[in-house]
């Protein structure tokens, strides 16, 4: 396992359109093995490239301060929660069904 080793102030992250355009909460955060971050609504209907948006880490934390708690998520891991009130559950990204 490798920990994140950078600051996130201006790091570009992938965000699903349901969060950016639809106002849904972030219920899944993935820190890919290549270092890329994804902030998703937890839905399963992300099938086209037009549902991808980009934001900065700081912008996402400003929108949802609870995201600060996943700031040090290990590379290759993800966290999920059912609602904003729930705690994050951690698992390796490779355990996610594609």
Which residue ranges make up each domain of the chain? 12-95
End-to-end alpha carbon distance in the chain: 21
Residue 51's pLDDT is 81
d(CA 92, CA 98): 13
Poorest-pLDDT segment among 5-19, 23-37, 64-78: 5-19
DSSP, collapsed to helix, strand or coil, labels residue 30 as strand
Q: In the beta sheet, which residues pair with residue 38?
A: 14, 30
Residue 2's pLDDT is 47
Residue 47's pLDDT is 67
Mean pLDDT of 29-37: 93
Helix H segments across 26-85?
Answer: 57-63
């Amino acid at each position: 396992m490798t920990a994140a080793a950078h600051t996130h102030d201006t790091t570009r992250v992938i965000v699903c359109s349901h969060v950016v355009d639809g106002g849904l909460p972030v219920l899944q955060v993935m820190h890919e093995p290549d270092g890329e971050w994804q902030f998703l609504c937890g839905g399963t209907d992300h099938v086209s490239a037009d549902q991808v948006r980009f934001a900065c880490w700081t912008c996402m934390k400003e929108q949802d301060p609870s995201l600060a708690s996943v700031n040090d998520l290990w590379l290759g891991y993800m966290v999920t929660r059912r609602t904003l009130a729930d705690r994050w559950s951690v698992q390796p990204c490779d355990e996610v069904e594609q």
